[in-house]
Amino acid sequence: MAIPVTFLILFVSTLMLISVTYAFAVDRVNSKGQSLKITTAKQNLITLDENIMAVASQPGSARPFDMSNSGGQLNIEPSQNVLRINVSDGQEISSTVFNETVGQIRYELPSAEAVPTGLFLKGDERSIVNQTGASVTQLGIQRSADGPEIRLSYRPAVSCVVSGEEAGQSVNELRVYVVNLNASDPVSLYGEIPFRVSCQSTQVTTIEFTVSYPLSRLQVTATLNEVNGQVSIPITSTPQGAIIHVEIVQCVVAIERSVR
């Protein structure tokens, strides 16, 4: 009697061990599969950003781009992401020089509990930067109401140079560089998708400000997708004041579905 009972105990124990080992192995395989999909999605968005930046400022240039399937949903939203830019010197100058949607791209990741959010793959949380050494790209992993997503958008960058004097006043050329995706196709799709990334145009708008008093700095404030930021730009002036040309250089980039 003891032998059959012992055999039954060993048989049941072996079955339990096999079941636990199999479940663990399946979980590990699924986990590695999810990690691979997330890695692929990150690389897709990094490559897309590289293509966008390669054609920006070169009207007429274009590049093909294939979004590979990594299990999530791609959303190109040209009518989202409002950018508002203001300039102020705290005295006479106070003006909104840009107020438009600039578009954004979101890739909703497949369900994955272990995806860290709040991390930037490129850029950071600032909504405006000085052009020297700073990336205009904002590429990060965020958490939305529907779960984790990779979000790609572009923030303005500011630079300023002195170009001489006019009527006894220093002339400052303040340039605000904007990458605008609002000419793109609206997309909300899964799977592998071929695209064409092109620079539609470079639009330059100039606004002139003249002050009759010495001025040392100008504050440029940006509100991007409801996030506020500010940079302080040095201004050169004479005792008679300064002339400031604010140039908005807008690179209109379109991401369009292509048929091959």
pLDDT in tens, 73-131: 999 999 999 999 999 999 999 999 999 999 999 999 886 556 667 788 999 999 999 97
How confident is the model at residue 234, as a pLDDT?
95
pLDDT: which is higher, 140 or 259 = 140
Taking only the tens place, the pLDDT of each residue in 134-172 is 899 999 998 877 788 999 999 999 999 999 999 999 999
Record the pTM. 0.84
Domain tally for the chain? 1
d(CA 33, CA 35): 5
Query: What are the tens digits of pLDDT across the range 212-256?
Result: 999 999 999 999 988 999 999 999 999 999 999 999 999 999 999
- Enclosing domain of residue 137: 3-257
User: What is the pLDDT, as a whole number, of residue 232?
Assistant: 95
